[in-house]
Chain A
Amino acid sequence: MAENSPDLGGKIGYVVLGATKAEDGTRSVSYRLGGESDLPFIGMKTSLGSIPLVAFEICDDPSYWSPIVTSYTGDLVSDTPEWATAAEQQYGADLVRLYLTSTKRRGFDDFPSITKVTEDVLSGTGLPLVVEGSNEPAIDSEIFQRCGEAGQGERLLLGTAEAGRYRSVAAAAMAYNHSMVAQSPIDINLAKQLNILLREIGVKADHIMIDPYTGSLGYGFEYSYSVMERIRYAALKGDTDLAMPMIASAMDSLSVKEVREADPVIRDDIAVAWEFYAALSSAVAGASIVCVRHPKTVPLLKLAFRELWAGKKPGEF
Chain B
Amino acid sequence: MPSITFLPSYRKITVEPGSTILDAIQRAQIQMNVVCGGQGKCGKCIVYIKNGSVEFDREKFGKFFTADELGQGACLACQAVVRDDLHVMIPDSSLIQQQKILMESLGIETPFQPSVWKYYVELSPPTLEDPSPDLTRLVWGIQKQGGPLAEKMYAPLDVLRGMPRVLRDSGWRVTATLALVPGGYRIIDIEKGDTRKELYGVAIDLGTTTVVAYIRSLVDGHVVGIASNYNRQISCGEDILSRVNFARKNGLPKLQALAAESINLAITTAANGAGIDREDIYEVVVAGNTIMTHILLGIDPAYMIEEPYVPVVRRYLTTAAPRLGIEVAKDASVFLFPAVSDFIGGDIIADILASGMGERDEISLLVDIGTNFEVVLGNRDWMFSCAGAAGPALEGGEVLFGMRANPGAIERITIDPVTLEPQYQTINSIKPMGICGSGLIDLLADLLRACVVDRTGRINTEIIHPRIRQGVHFPEYVIAWKQESGNNKDIVITENDIKNLIMSKASVLAACITLMKQAGITRNELSTIYFSGAFGNYIHKENAIMIGLIPEVPIEQIRNIGNGAVEGANMALINRKKRKTLDEIAKNIAYIELNAESSFMDEYTGSSFLPHTDLSLFPRVQKMLDECRLKKIPPGVP
| B interface: dominant SS | loop
**Residues of chain B within 8 A of A189, CB atoms compared:** 602, 605-606, 608-609, 613
A200 contacts B454, C-beta separation under 8 Å: yes
The listed residue (A175, A192, A196, A241) touching B638 by CB distance below 8 A is A175
Cβ 8 A contact of A171, one of B614, B629, B636: B636
- CB neighbours (8 Å) of A200 from chain B are 454-455, 625, 629, 634
Q: Chain A 182-211, CB within 8 Å of chain B: the 1/0 string?
A: 000001111011001100111000000000
Chain A residues whose C-beta falls within 8 Å of the C-beta of B462 in the assembled complex: 167
Give complex CA distance A125, B437 in Å.
58
Flag B592-624 by CB within 8 Å of A: 1 or 0 each. 000000000010011011000111000000000
| Chain B interface residue count, Cβ-Cβ cutoff 8 angstroms | 20
Residues A196 and B634 in contact, CB atoms below 8 Å apart = no
Number of interface residues of A (CB under 8 A): 19
B456 within 8 A of A: yes
A225-256 interface bits toward B, Cβ cutoff 8 Å, 1 = contact, 0 = none: 00000000000000001000000000000000
Those of A148-196 within 8 Å (CB) of chain B = 163-164, 167, 170-171, 174-175, 187-190, 192-193, 196
The docked-state distance in angstroms from the alpha carbon of A174 to that of B633 is: 14
Q: For A187, what are the chain B residues with a Cβ–Cβ distance below 8 Å?
A: 605
Q: Provide the bound-state CA to CA distance between A104 and B609, in Å.
A: 31
B615 touches A196 (CB 8 A): yes
CA distance A187 to B602 in the complex (A): 9
When distances are taken between beta carbons in the complex, the residues of chain A under 8 Å from B614 are 192
Asked if B458 is at the interface (CB within 8 A of a chain A CB), the reply is: yes
Provide the residues of chain B in CB contact with A164, threshold 8 Å. Answer: 458
Do A201 and B605 touch across chains, with their CB atoms under 8 A apart?
no
Q: Which residues of A contact B454 (CB under 8 A)?
A: 197, 200-201
Q: How distant is the Cα of A201 from the Cα of B605 in the complex, in angstroms? A: 21
How far is A305 from B613 in the complex, measured between Cα atoms in Å? 34
A197 to B42, CA, bound (A): 34
**Given the complex, which residues of B lie within 8 Å of A193, measured CB to CB?**
455-456, 609, 613
- Min Cβ gap A194→B in Å is 8
Chain B residues within an 8 Å CB radius of A202: 634, 637
Tell me the complex Cα distance, A164–B458, Å: 8
Contacts A163-B456, A197-B456, A200-B629 given: A171-B605 contact, CB under 8 Å?
no
Within B557-615, the residues touching A (CB, 8 Å) are 602, 605-606, 608-609, 613-615
For B616, give the chain A residue with the smallest CB separation. Answer: A239
Q: Is the CB of B637 within 8 A of A171?
A: yes
Residues of A within 8 A of B456 (CB): 163, 193, 197
- Once the chains are docked, how many angstroms separate the CA of A193 from the CA of B606? 8
Q: Closest CB of chain A to B598's CB: distance in Å?
A: 13
Beta-carbon contact of A196 and B637 below 8 Å: no
Within 8 A of B (CB), among A78-121: none
Q: Cα distance A190–B607 when bound, in Å?
A: 10
Within 8 A of A (CB), among B524-575: none
Complex Cα distance A190/B609, Å?
Answer: 9
Distance of A193 Cα from B634 Cα, bound (Å): 18
Taken together as a complex, chains A and B put the C-alpha atoms of A170 and B462 apart, in Å, by: 13
Q: Mark B31-71, 1 if CB is under 8 A from A, else 0.
A: 00000000000000000000000000000000000000000
A169 → chain B closest CB, angstroms: 11
Task: Known A-B contacts: A187-B605, A189-B608, A200-B634. Give 12 more (CB < 8 A).
Answer: A167-B460, A171-B637, A188-B602, A189-B602, A189-B605, A196-B613, A197-B455, A197-B456, A200-B454, A200-B455, A201-B636, A202-B637
Q: Can you list 22 A-B contacts with CB-CB less than 8 angstroms, sorted by A residue number?
A: A163-B456, A163-B458, A167-B460, A167-B636, A174-B637, A189-B602, A189-B605, A189-B606, A189-B609, A192-B613, A193-B456, A193-B613, A196-B455, A197-B454, A197-B456, A200-B455, A200-B634, A201-B634, A201-B636, A201-B637, A202-B637, A241-B613
